[in-house]
C-alpha cells in the first residue's frame, strides 16, 4: 500500500518576508515629547478660537458639548482616507441620508448632539416640556387616626380565627389593683417556674390566667387568680436536667477563681457514673445554663447539685428554703479537751454570724472526732465559722444529703443525673428541727 507524503512548504527567505504587506493600520511612528506637546497646544488654541467664534464673550457651561474638531478623532475617523484626515476640522460632513449636517460624524448613524439650553437663538418652546405638576395631597390624617390604623386594623377584615385569638388574650399590664403582683413573681412563688422562665414563656403565649392567654410582660395578677401553663411549657421544663456531682477537694462550685477549675468540668461522658439509672443520654446541650444550687468551698467535698431548672434552684437556695443539708464534719479541739455541753448547745441554737441570729440546727456527735450537722440555711463558710466560735478546728467537711437526695455510693469526681422519681424536700431529722 502506497503512502502519501506531504512536502512541507519551503521556508521564506528574508527578502520574501520583507515583501509581505505591513500589519493592520500600518506602522505608526510614535511622536516625540516635543511633537506631542506642540500638537496639544495647537489643539487647545484651535478649541479656544472656536469657542470665541461661536459664543463670543459668553462662554458655555462646563457641561456643554465641545465644538466639532476640538475632540480627539475616533478610531474609525483615524482610519479614514487621507482626504478625510486633511479636511478642515470645522467643516461639517455631508450626511448621505440627506439630513442636516452636524459637527459629529453622522455617516455611521450617530445621533447629532442635542443643543445646549444656553445656546442663543434656540426657542425654548421647541424642547419637550416635562410635566412637573403633581396632584396636591389630600388632608393629612389626624394623629389618633394614624395610631388607630397602625395599631388596630379593621376587625372585620381579620379572619375569624384571628379575631378569636385576639379576644382570648386578656390585658393585665394596666391594672394596679391593691394586692396585685407581677405574674412572673407569682409563678415563682407557686413553684410553677422561675422568674426567668416565666418571662420567656409569657411573650410566647404559654401562660394563662383564669383561662385567658397573657402575652404582655409585666402583667399583674391577684393572689386568687388561677395560673396555668401550656403543654409546650411543660415539655420545655421536662427537657431541663439536674446533675449530682461528688465534688473532690480543689474544685470550686461556680465560676473558676484563683486558678481553680469549676466542678462542671468534671461533667464528661468518661466521668459519668456507670450505675446511673436515670435513663438520660448525655448531650452537650446539658452543659448550657448549669448553675450550682448550693455551694461547697474548695476544701469541702461531697454532694453538689448543678441544675438547669430554676424551680429546683429556688427550692434549694431561696430565701424561704426549708430544705435540709446534712454534713459530716471532722473536728479537733484547740485545747485537746472534750467539747462542753454548753458549747454543743450553742452549735444547735444561739450563735450569730454577721450580726444575724442563725436558724436552729441539729448538731450531734457521731464519734469522738466527728460531728453531724443538719442545717436549713447556707451562709458562706457557716459550719467552719460556727466551729471556730466554740473553739473547734475543722479538719474535713463532707456533704452527704440535700433534702431526700443522698450522696450514696457516688464515687469522688464522678456525676449522675437526677432521676425523675427523686424529689428534694424535708428529709430525716425534720421532726427534730421542728421540735426546737
Enumerate the β-bridge partners of residue 247.
Answer: 302
Catalytic residue among 90, 95, 210, 297: 297
Decide if 341 is catalytic: no
| H/E element, 41 | helix 33-55
C-alpha cell at 362: 441539729
Do 286 and 269 meet the contact criterion of CB atoms below 8 Å apart? Answer: no
C-alpha cell at 421: 422519681
**How far is Cα 322 from Cα 150, in angstroms, rounded to an integer?**
51
Give the side-chain half-sphere CA count within 13 A for 192. 23
Do 293 and 312 meet the contact criterion of CB atoms below 8 Å apart? Answer: yes
**How far is Cα 420 from Cα 285, in angstroms, rounded to an integer?**
19
Q: Which residue has the cell 424536700?
A: 425
What's the N-to-C CA distance of the chain in angstroms? 126
Do 391 and 352 meet the contact criterion of CB atoms below 8 Å apart? Answer: no
Do 245 and 302 meet the contact criterion of CB atoms below 8 Å apart? Answer: no
**How far is Cα 360 from Cα 374, in angstroms, rounded to an integer?**
9
Burial class (CB in 10 A: 0-12, 13-18, 19+), 335: exposed
List CB contacts of 407: < 8 A, sequence separation 6 or more.
244, 246, 302, 303, 399, 400, 401
| H/E element, 207 | strand 207-209
Residues taking part in catalysis: 297
Amino acid at each position: 500500500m502506497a503512502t502519501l507524503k506531504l512536502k512541507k512548504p519551503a521556508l521564506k527567505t528574508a527578502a520574501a518576508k520583507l515583501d509581505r504587506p505591513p500589519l493592520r493600520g500600518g506602522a505608526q511612528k510614535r511622536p516625540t515629547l516635543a511633537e506631542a506637546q506642540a500638537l496639544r497646544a495647537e489643539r487647545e488654541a484651535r478649541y479656544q478660537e472656536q469657542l470665541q467664534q461661536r459664543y463670543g464673550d459668553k462662554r458655555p457651561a462646563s457641561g456643554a458639548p465641545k465644538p466639532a474638531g476640538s475632540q480627539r478623532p475616533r478610531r474609525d475617523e483615524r482610519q479614514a482616507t487621507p482626504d478625510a484626515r486633511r479636511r478642515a476640522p470645522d467643516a461639517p460632513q455631508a450626511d448621505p441620508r440627506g439630513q442636516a449636517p452636524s459637527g459629529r460624524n453622522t455617516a455611521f448613524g450617530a445621533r447629532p448632539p442635542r443643543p445646549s439650553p444656553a445656546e442663543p437663538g434656540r426657542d425654548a418652546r421647541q424642547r419637550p416640556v416635562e410635566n412637573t405638576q403633581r396632584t396636591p395631597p389630600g388632608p393629612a390624617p389626624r394623629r389618633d387616626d394614624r395610631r388607630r390604623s397602625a395599631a388596630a386594623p379593621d376587625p372585620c377584615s381579620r379572619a375569624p380565627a384571628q379575631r378569636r385569638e385576639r379576644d382570648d388574650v386578656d390585658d393585665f399590664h394596666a391594672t394596679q389593683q391593691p394586692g396585685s403582683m407581677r405574674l412572673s413573681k407569682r409563678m415563682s412563688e407557686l413553684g410553677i417556674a422561675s422568674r426567668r422562665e416565666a418571662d420567656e414563656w409569657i411573650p410566647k403565649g404559654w401562660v394563662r390566667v383564669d383561662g385567658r392567654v397573657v402575652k404582655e410582660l409585666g402583667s399583674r395578677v391577684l393572689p386568687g387568680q388561677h395560673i396555668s401553663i401550656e403543654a409546650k411549657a411543660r415539655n420545655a421544663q421536662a427537657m431541663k436536667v439536674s446533675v449530682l456531682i461528688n465534688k473532690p477537694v480543689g474544685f470550686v462550685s461556680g465560676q473558676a477563681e484563683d486558678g481553680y477549675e469549676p466542678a462542671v468540668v468534671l461533667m464528661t461522658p468518661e466521668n459519668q457514673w456507670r450505675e446511673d439509672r436515670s435513663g438520660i443520654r448525655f448531650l452537650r446541650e446539658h452543659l448550657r445554663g448549669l448553675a450550682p444550687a448550693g455551694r461547697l468551698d474548695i476544701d469541702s467535698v461531697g454532694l453538689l447539685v448543678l441544675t438547669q431548672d430554676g424551680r429546683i434552684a429556688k427550692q434549694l437556695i431561696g430565701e424561704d428554703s426549708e430544705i435540709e443539708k446534712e454534713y459530716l464534719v471532722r473536728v479537733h479541739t484547740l485545747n485537746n479537751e472534750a467539747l462542753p455541753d454548753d458549747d454543743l448547745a450553742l452549735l444547735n441554737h444561739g450563735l450569730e454570724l454577721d450580726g444575724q441570729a442563725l436558724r436552729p440546727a441539729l448538731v450531734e456527735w457521731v464519734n469522738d472526732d466527728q460531728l453531724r450537722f443538719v442545717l436549713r440555711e447556707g451562709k458562706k463558710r457557716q459550719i467552719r465559722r460556727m466551729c471556730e466560735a466554740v473553739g473547734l478546728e475543722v479538719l474535713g467537711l463532707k456533704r452527704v444529703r440535700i433534702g431526700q437526695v443522698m450522696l450514696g455510693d457516688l464515687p469522688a469526681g464522678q456525676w449522675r443525673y437526677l432521676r425523675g422519681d427523686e424529689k428534694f424536700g424535708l428529709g430525716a431529722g425534720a421532726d427534730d428541727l421542728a421540735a426546737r
